Amino acid sequence: MNITSRIFVAGGSTLLGAAIVDRLRDEGYDSLVGVGPGEPDYTSPAQVEDFFAEYRPEYVFVAAGKSGGIGLNRKSPADLMLDNLLVATNLLPVAHAHGVRKLLYLGSSCGYPRLASQPMGVGAMHTGPLEPTSAAYASAKIAGMHLCAAYRDQHAANFVTAIPANAFGPGDDFSEDTGHVIPALMRRFYEAKREGRPEVPVWGSGTPRREFVGARDIADAAVFVMCHYDEPEPINLGGGTDVSIAGVARLIADIVGYRGRLLFDASKPDGVKLKRLDSSPLFALGWRPATTLEAALTQTYTWFLQHVVTEDPRNATPTLSVALSDSSGRGRDRPHLSD
């Protein structure tokens, strides 16, 4: 892949997709196709076929598909599963038919078994049952990974799968209903600080541990893998460290400036107790994250204040607004997130 290659980021308005687009532009890649309104609707096979026939991308990043936190996974498992299945079944065959030179499909760490040994290496796939709260979404992502492998086996297609750690960052979904833990907590703590609430509820016991990596670092890793990795096995995109939900909640409260109490509600689901990726194959290739967790959280909160918090001209009271996308994933503020 070079700076004149025709590159398509499917899901370019999602959290990771937008970060990949930004990273490519920063690196000088100037032949990006399908950015913004030119992106097809992945639920429409005809639109996908027409897009590839017209623009003939050489390299494709697949970051499209709906996702969300535990709340959305419990509320809309069928919607999440169907949308992600359609992304895989509509994009991958057309990419192969039009001679794409390389495709990088972003899977999900939800595809690892609930009780997988830690840190999770790709050999742990299919060694046990999935986490029930995200099983439908995870099954669709696993199907996409297997479809990539099938195209490699049957057609020698250079389709590669990468599994990102829990991502967050500028452009995130800060909704209480659909957002993942970090953006949802940022919004909750911001509102509690503004309204002077003495305490804030946090879902779960706070003890589960997650590997959180800023979306900009995940995007950098994805571009790195596109350029340096061609093996059939999936490769993890992680940062090598994990933190408890309680720990990250306290970090966020400190960054927001909220000084009240955090009330952990153990009656709410925790999900998997520990989720950390074995990213040693990626590190062995020479990649490492460039941003600390605290710095990435600060960047995300700064973006939140600048883009989600708006001034109400009627009373100059800060209000919140989040733009939602349609089913294709378009809409800058409605991201694809990996739990």
Q: Which residues are catalytic?
A: 137
Beta-sheet pairing, 309-311 with 274-275: unpaired
CB-based contacts of 16: which residues, under 8 Å, 6+ apart?
63, 106, 164, 167, 215, 218, 219, 222, 335, 336, 337, 338
Q: How many CA atoms lie within 13 A of 25 on its CB side?
A: 12
| Residue 52 CA: distances (Å) to CA of 13, 18, 123 | 18, 20, 34
Looking at residue 30, its amino acid is D
Q: Other C-beta atoms within 10 Å of 196: how many?
A: 7
Beta bridge partners of 168: 214
What is the SS3 assignment for 57?
coil
338 contact partners, CB below 8 Å, separation of at least 6: 16, 67, 106, 108, 109, 110, 164, 165, 166, 167
- Is the omega angle on the peptide bond into residue 119 within 30 degrees of 0, that is, cis? yes
Give me the numbers of helices (H) and strands (E) for the chain, helices first please.
Answer: 10, 15
